[in-house]
Chains A and B, each alone.
Chain A
């Protein structure tokens, strides 16, 4: 069955450093990989989508990589700030007409950026 793994332990880093979060998946071949941010008691917020033929994608301080051979995506936040503290969810997504219909999320990694 499909399995998605994210760092289960919380990640604590110092303000200004780069945070790197990992998403590994097994038993399927997603055409896309999405990253979302979720704050406590709120719905997730879409951050980035990367396609299988893209190695890297950037948006402001965010960078995502997608390695289909390793079945892994890395999510980087550079120059991290306390406001970046949240839980980050990855969602490997199948392609095709119905591919985006079912998002399966990883359990998320809780990031805490300290002063």
Chain B
């Protein structure tokens, strides 16, 4: 149980284009989903938290107009990197939490984004 998928696993795009990453909870309803990014040899940094049907809460320093998050249903959240630049190249990972009172998070396998 508690499986989270992400798609795509890898994406290469040209500078200036937009990329959408999907995160799905496969066998549970996720009241809250999270988006992280991770640079090589560094730990995960939380970018934003989203609850189904409401606007995402972004961490300080994360541009909400650049990283658009939509949590349209209890099993799907999407992250769109708009007008991507090479510095946006990173490993993006989503996670999901089933219900309030659950503190553990279940992570997707991650998406490697390379912007050329």
Q: Does A44 contact B (CB under 8 A)?
A: yes
Assess the A42–B109 pair: CB atoms within 8 A.
yes
With A89-B43, A103-B46, A107-B42 known as contacts, the answer to whether A34 contacts B107 (CB < 8 A) is no
Choose among B2, B6, B32, B44 the residue that contacts A44 (Cβ–Cβ < 8 A): B44
Assess the A42–B42 pair: CB atoms within 8 A.
no
Assess the A49–B104 pair: CB atoms within 8 A.
yes
Q: Which residues of B contact A34 (CB under 8 A)?
A: 103-104
C-beta contact mask, A23-59 vs B, less than 8 Å → 1, else 0?
0000000001010100001111110010000000000
With A34-B103, A43-B95 known as contacts, the answer to whether A102 contacts B110 (CB < 8 A) is no
Q: Does B25 contact A (CB under 8 A)?
A: no
Q: Does B49 contact A (CB under 8 A)?
A: yes
CA distance A99 to B93 in the complex (A): 20
C-beta contact mask, B2-35 vs A, less than 8 Å → 1, else 0?
1010100000000000000000000000001010
With A101-B49, A103-B46, A108-B43 known as contacts, the answer to whether A46 contacts B105 (CB < 8 A) is yes
CA distance A93 to B103 in the complex (A): 8
C-beta contact mask, B96-116 vs A, less than 8 Å → 1, else 0?
010010111111111010000
Q: Which residues of A contact B34 (CB under 8 A)?
A: 101, 103
CA distance A100 to B27 in the complex (A): 21
Nearest residue (CB) in B for A34 is B104
Q: Which residues of B contact A106 (CB under 8 A)?
A: 43
Choose among B43, B108, B110 the residue that contacts A105 (Cβ–Cβ < 8 A): B43
Choose among B100, B104, B112 the residue that contacts A46 (Cβ–Cβ < 8 A): B104
Q: Tell me the A residues contacting B by CB distance below 8 Å.
A: 32, 34, 36, 41-46, 49, 89, 93, 97, 99-108
30 A-B pairs within 8 Å (CB atoms) are namely A34-B103, A34-B104, A41-B91, A41-B112, A42-B110, A43-B109, A44-B93, A44-B95, A45-B107, A46-B2, A46-B104, A46-B106, A93-B103, A97-B100, A99-B103, A100-B102, A100-B103, A100-B104, A100-B105, A101-B34, A101-B49, A102-B49, A103-B34, A103-B46, A104-B46, A105-B43, A105-B44, A107-B42, A107-B43, A108-B43
